[in-house]
């Protein structure tokens, strides 16, 4: 097998662990400050518990040229930031033709989707969910359960990631833990 052309690795479908990757990164609480429903809660938590990891990403990078795909696994740890369930930053793809596939491997949560026209949708993302995200939709995942939420993703290498708009205005809605139940409310910052 020519390793430059083919990638064939073991993927533990129960625990969501990939045997090999080229890049691992994590996002800590402090890095979600601008994205959070209540940034005061971020500061409060950092004072109490320190700056801990909210999610980690294991990625198989590929050259950024047409036809190539980047894929990997994201693991969101359970927890809340104030009332808000742990979540990924969320982003638009710069290239609006670049869709993405998410496959739920472990745990449960919600995917938030929105386009630039203000259309907003949520989809359940749990073990066994397969979600196709058309290129124009920003996407964020929220872990609403008390275990790790793990999903596989795959997208065209030329997609590009735009976090700025989400950082500034967020998603139309946020998912809060209200009396123990995931509750979707309007985001006042949007």
Secondary element (H or E) of residue 26: strand 23-28
* Cβ at position 153, least distance to Zn ion in Å: 7
Which positions lie near ligand PAN, rule CB under 6 A? 27, 57, 74, 88-91, 100, 139, 153, 155, 159, 161
89 binds, among Zn ion, ligand PAN, none (CB under 5 to 8 A by kind): ligand PAN
For CA atoms 33, 37, 40, 44, the dihedral sign is: negative
What is the spatial distance between Cα 170 and Cα 112, in angstroms, rounded to a whole number? 11
Secondary element (H or E) of residue 39: helix 39-49
**Could you tell me which of 156, 20, 26, 142 has the C-alpha nearest to residue 101?**
156
* Cβ at position 179, least distance to ligand PAN in Å: 28
* Cβ at position 118, least distance to Zn ion in Å: 20
Secondary element (H or E) of residue 45: helix 39-49
74 binds, among ligand PAN, Zn ion, none (CB under 5 to 8 A by kind): ligand PAN
Q: Which residue's CB comes closest to Zn ion? A: 100
125 binds, among ligand PAN, Zn ion, none (CB under 5 to 8 A by kind): none
90 binds, among ligand PAN, Zn ion, none (CB under 5 to 8 A by kind): ligand PAN
Nearest residue (CB) to ligand PAN, 1 versus 76: 76
Which positions lie near Zn ion, rule CB under 5 A? 100
Residue 133 · residue 169 · CB < 8 Å: no
The total of other beta-carbon atoms located within 10 Å of residue 153's CB is 19
35 binds, among ligand PAN, Zn ion, none (CB under 5 to 8 A by kind): none
Nearest residue (CB) to Zn ion, 95 versus 183: 95
* Cβ at position 178, least distance to ligand PAN in Å: 24
In the numeric block, the tokens 């801990």 are attached to: 52
In the numeric block, the tokens 């809660």 are attached to: 41
* Cβ at position 99, least distance to ligand PAN in Å: 10
Query: 121: number of CA atoms within 13 Å, CB side?
Result: 15
């Amino acid at each position: 097998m020519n390793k430059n052309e083919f990638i064939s690795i073991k993927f533990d479908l129960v625990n969501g662990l990939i045997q090999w990757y080229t890049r691992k990164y994590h996002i800590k609480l402090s890095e979600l400050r601008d994205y959070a429903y209540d940034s005061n809660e971020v500061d409060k938590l950092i004072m109490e518990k320190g700056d801990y990891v909210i999610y980690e990403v294991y990625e198989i990078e590929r050259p950024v040229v047409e036809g190539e795909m980047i894929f990997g696994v994201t693991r969101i740890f359970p927890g809340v930031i104030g009332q808000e369930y742990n979540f990924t930053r969320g982003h638009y793809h710069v290239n609006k033709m670049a869709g993405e596939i998410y496959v739920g491997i472990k745990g449960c949560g919600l995917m938030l989707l929105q386009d630039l026209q203000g259309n907003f949708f949520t989809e359940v993302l749990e073990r066994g969910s397969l979600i196709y995200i058309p290129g124009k939709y920003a996407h964020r995942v929220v872990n609403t359960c008390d275990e790790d939420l793990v999903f596989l993703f795959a997208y065209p290498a030329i997609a590009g990631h735009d976090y700025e708009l989400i950082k500034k205005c967020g998603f139309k809605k946020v998912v809060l833990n209200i009396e123990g139940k995931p509750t979707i409310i309007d985001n006042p910052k949007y």
